[in-house]
Each structure stands twice: as C-alpha cells, then as structure tokens.
A and B are shown apart, each in its own frame.
Chain A
Amino acid sequence: DGGITQSPKYLFRKEGQNVTLSCEQNLNHDAMYWYRQDPGQGLRLIYYSQIVNDFQKGDIAEGYSVSREKKESFPLTVTSAQKNPTAFYLCASSNYYEQYFGPGTRLTVT
C-alpha cells in the first residue's frame, strides 16, 4: 500500500516535555509538510521541505523543529517553547500541487 503514515494516532505529554511526531511516506514524493489544525479551524502550515536536507518555516514555526535526513521521513518535534501545543497535527507530501495527507496525530499536553 502506498501512502503516508503518522504515528502514534494519539499522544499525551506533560507540559515542559519535548515530543516528536513521526511521518513516513512511500509515495516517492519530494516535498513534505506539517500542518496544525485546531478545533473548527483550517490547516496552518508549520514547516515544509521541498528536498532532502532542506526545509523552510511555514506560518507558525515558532516552538517547532523538523529534520529531513531521508526522502521518506519528516519528523516534527514539538518543543516546550510551543505555548499551545495541544492540537491535531497533519503531515502531507507532494510532488507538485496536490498534497496527500496522513491520518494525523492528536497531541494532548497537560
């Protein structure tokens, strides 16, 4: 099956801890993305990467970090500096305009 996998589906953390969300794709796409979605809201871009070993900040990058060491993988770290980390996080990939999304990870920080 080709697609994007995100793990885990649900994640719980204590305030002050860093947490890393996994995103893997086997679509051979060059570009990968991380979005944040809050209840009743649209998708806001956190980071994106057009090629391995390169990535750019999106609209809400503060408090987040990423790496792109492999074409297939684009992990997102939510750091303790992120003031409101509880949200639904979506990873996507593309080779051009159309983005394919993973199932999402719901992060709850208490």
Chain B
Amino acid sequence: GESVGLHLPTLSVQEGDNSIINCAYSNSASDYFIWYKQESGKGPQFIIDIRSNMDKRQGQRVTVLLNKTVKHLSLQIAATQPGDSAVYFCAENSGGSNYKLTFGKGTLLTVNP
C-alpha cells in the first residue's frame, strides 16, 4: 500500500542553525499534510499543517513546503534551539480521508549547544 516515509532518520545540528526535515509521500490522493513534534515519553504535538492547494505555509520559526510534483514535504525550523530536539513526524490524510492519518516513521532531531 501507499505510505509516508522520511529520507533521513536522524539529523544533528548546531544551536542557531536552520534545520530541514524531509518527507516523501506516495499517495497522490492525499490533500492534507501535517507535522508533529514528539518529545521523549510524550504524545505528539501539532506543529504546522498544509493543504494541497498551497505550496508553502509559515508559522512561528517553522515553514512547511509542499512539492506535489515530486510528492515531497519538508519542515524548516529557523534558528534551531535545544528545545527543538525531538522526533518529528509527517502525516498525510490517507488518500483524502477526513479522519485517518498515515504517519511516517519520524526523524530524530538533535540540537547541539
């Protein structure tokens, strides 16, 4: 079946640098994408989302880019801080489902002080 995957399982950056976390999706019918942050031992927290009619969306220190041509999603974190260290998951709405999300395996971001 179709699934969401990630290019890099781990990413290590220096504090203050920008971070880019990538995600590939294969279900062309998905029209909603979301990024979650999960700290160790906790539940995932919403970061930012984007619909397929957009190619970029910005939040506070975060930007999500969507390239539907190559089915690629990325999360950019500006001026990465130690508190950003976590696992980041992308998810898609399972081929257009109103409720079900399909999650990628996650990328572990480590920020070095």
Contacts and interface: CB of A to CB of B under 8 A. Distances in A.
Interface of A: 4, 31, 40-43, 45, 48, 50, 90, 92, 94, 96-104, 106
Interface residues of B, number: 20
A45 B94 CA distance: 12
Contact of A101 (B43, B104, B105): B43
Contacts of A98: 34, 46, 49
Contacts of B46: 98, 100
B98 interface: yes
Contacts of A41: 105-106
Interface class of chain A by DSSP: strand
Given A43-B44, A102-B43, A103-B42, A31 B99 contact: yes
Given A101-B44, A102-B43, A43 B99 contact: no
Contacts of A45: 100
Interface of B: 32, 34, 36, 41-46, 49, 89, 93, 98-101, 103-106
Contact of B101 (A4, A40, A99, A104): A99
